[in-house]
Structure 1
């Protein structure tokens, strides 16, 4: 079941838009599906991942964190050079920068890790990190997910639970990426409350309805005030 959720997510993500990235010295040549254009962009293609579960265990030991099994299975499934889903940005996987996207959020997170809060992704508006809340044991480490806003003092920046697990996060994002092709984004986000009733629909209700409200406000504003170019 978890593998089906992971494959459904990647299928939706790989088909949501053109897979482009900026060329750098760390770009894997084998992942390039086009030449680099005049502005430095190229189209990339995913490759089957080769990292092992043990590679992730070493990161856990180094940073004193614990990852959900579903998160490990997700991240090691492919090599992929971007994972921006607008609402949040999940860590991508570049074979030339082994697990760097996993370790970067953990480099300065000793305080959070000591409390059982493990950063792993970025909020879509750069308001902080998404964290696994590992303060209570869960089967297969399927911890609930919260947002941590670093602009607040200590744990004042910790939100309510916004997803009940990483698997539910993937289900919600998969639904979002499919549905926004034919519906307005602000009409799609409230669906999370039904897809994840124990997380988004219970504790994260205010958070996600706030996102939908912001999206609708932006839509109404720019509909009446288009860009002058």
Structure 2
């Protein structure tokens, strides 16, 4: 549960909700950049779920005790956890922001927790951002019924498609994109997504595996 209200009416910032399948409920975001990071987390095979505004931290900034709320806490498939601050690169040039985030990093390190600052350099880099947008557009349902999942995996294991065009040939274009959206079939999102793109049925190169 967020330690403070994320979405409010009083601000000129972009605010909204992301329909997260991993969390089972919509997740609030406070900026387009943060919303973009949520999409990346949603497709990362290393991520089980995530929380926004997850904790209120307190640490020394110089001689002053300050409160700090990280943007996200991410729960990983290997049992680990990671805290994130999402910031535009230009804000990291502001000395007061830079000092506070440096103190925050030291605080998390001292409490044996992983902490990173992410910017548009990670979130909006291409072709990753465009690929994620395309895939999530086709993810129109939260999951496949058990009977459909069994049939899908039977076909995948039998024919073992190597490229996306072969997945389209097996299931049709609409369903092939849906399988990408549900992370049943994965691709390397760091490369342009084409019919001849290599596909993965398992392994660390499926989708946005930036924790690998």
Length-normalised TM-score, structure 1 = 0.26
Structure with bigger gyration radius: 2
Between Structure 1 and Structure 2, the one with more strand by share is 2
| Higher relative contact order (Cα pairs below 8 Å, separated by 6+ residues) | 2
